[in-house]
Amino acid sequence: MAETYENVAIDRVGTDGRVARLTLNRPEKMNALSQELLFEFNEALHDLEADYSARVIIVRGAGRTFSAGYDLTPPGGRGADAVVRRHKAVDEQGRRLVMGTRTGMQQITDIHMYFWNMAKITIAQIHGYALAGGCELAMMADMVVAAEDAQLGHPGLRGLGTSRTGVIWPLVIGMRKAKELYYTGSSITGVEAQEIGMINYAWPKEELEERTIEYADRIANMTADHLAILKLNMNRFYENMGIYSSVRSSTDLDAMGQLTGESYLWQDHVRESNEKGTGLKGALDWRDGRYRDYRTSKG
């Protein structure tokens, strides 16, 4: 690969390097999904899709976690708005506009849907946390594997909006559990995620990397073009069940979710925390303290 990136890294593993491995590479920020990372991720995927020698792509995170979600504290941005690159989400007076927010979110949804439907087999390898946007991203892979003690969930549902690609959950897990996870924003371990069908396998953390490569290498026995046809055939079934319309609709609702009473409470606590000098941590403690998880129980 001639292209180099600042926020993602690419190497080759498996037999004769036929498995490409894409690493989210912001370990100091727990691989938070910044604007720069997301668009580099998209560019790297396009490069790999055009590379016939890459049969399977593993996506993992550098450092101690897969991804803690969208970058909520980027310079010049606010949470989900921070990943809007080509469209302002405010008017001349600085007031938030739902259609501006929606347009920016659809740009990110386009990246997720490309990841879903690109002509390569993809595997998300999760350790540590795959939360909020990190969980959304992982769910778009063909297969997902995780460390047994990994945490998967979407705490962003607690007042920050809805989950755009989290709507894939009803396709892979039962309705009751999907609604529970959606209404509470709680996380589950890799073991439970395997039990309910959210992921393919949960392995001991110390075995995760080796077993993921073995898993990818086994799939990579066939050529990239044949695997792409098999993937297209499978995805068409799910797309005919409404995944595209569901994800697009969920993105619209995510934009509207930024303007609810709960969302305004969250924004008030962020502002108050900043005024007190406690920063985002104070607001997150308020959000998650009601559920007694994430920061309140895990530090």
Q: What CATH number corresponds to the domain at position 151?
A: 3.90.226.10
Q: Is the pLDDT of residue 100 over 70?
A: yes
Section 52-74 average pLDDT: 93
Of 109 and 97, the structure prediction assigns the larger pLDDT to: 109
Task: Establish if 40 belongs to a structural domain.
Answer: yes
Question: By CB neighbour count within 10 A (0-12 exposed, 13-18 middle, 19+ buried), where does 266 fall?
Answer: buried
In a domain, 179, yes or no: yes
Residue 127 in this model has a pLDDT that exceeds 90: yes
151-153 and 187-189 strand pairing: antiparallel
Residue 232 lies in a domain: yes
**What is residue 209's predicted lDDT score, i.e. its pLDDT?**
98
What pLDDT is recorded for position 299? 36
Contacts 24+ apart (CB under 8 A), 177-183: 181/153, 181/154, 182/154, 182/157, 183/157
Mean pLDDT calculated for residue range 218-241 = 92
Stretch 228-239: mean pLDDT: 91
For 172, residues 6+ apart whose C-beta sits below 8 A from its C-beta are: 139, 197, 198
Residue at 265 is within a domain: no
Tell me: pLDDT of 59 over 90.
yes
Other Cβ atoms closer than 10 A to 50 = 10
CB 169 within 8 A of CB 209: no
> What integer pLDDT is reported at residue 247 of this predicted model?
77
Task: Tell me, yes or no, whether 166 lies in a domain.
Answer: yes
Q: 102 vs 169, which has greater pLDDT?
A: 169
Structural domain includes residue 277: no
Mean pLDDT of 261-280: 83
Range of the structural domain that residue 221 is part of: 8-259
At 46 the three-state DSSP class reads: helix
Q: Which run of H or E residues covers position 146?
A: strand 143-147
Q: Count up the domains in the chain and report the number.
A: 1
Tell me the C-alpha distance between 76 and 214, whole Å.
42
Give the chain's mean pLDDT.
86
Q: What would the mean pLDDT of 77-98 be, rounded to a whole number? A: 59
The predicted pLDDT at position 218 comes to 97
pLDDT of residue 76: 47
Contact 293, 186 (CB under 8 A): yes
Whether 85 shows a pLDDT value over 70: the answer reads: no
pLDDT band at 295 (very low <50, low <70, confident <90, very high): low
In this structure, is residue 293 part of a structural domain?
no
CB distance 181 to 291 below 8 Å = no
| d(C-alpha 248, C-alpha 167), whole Å | 10
List pLDDT tens digits, range 130-188: 999 999 999 999 999 999 999 999 988 877 777 776 668 888 899 999 999 999 989 99
- pLDDT of 188-223, one tens digit each? 999 999 999 999 999 999 999 999 999 999 999 999
Residue 64 lies in a domain: yes
Going by C-beta distance under 8 Å and a sequence separation of 6 or more, which residues neighbour residue 183?
A: 157
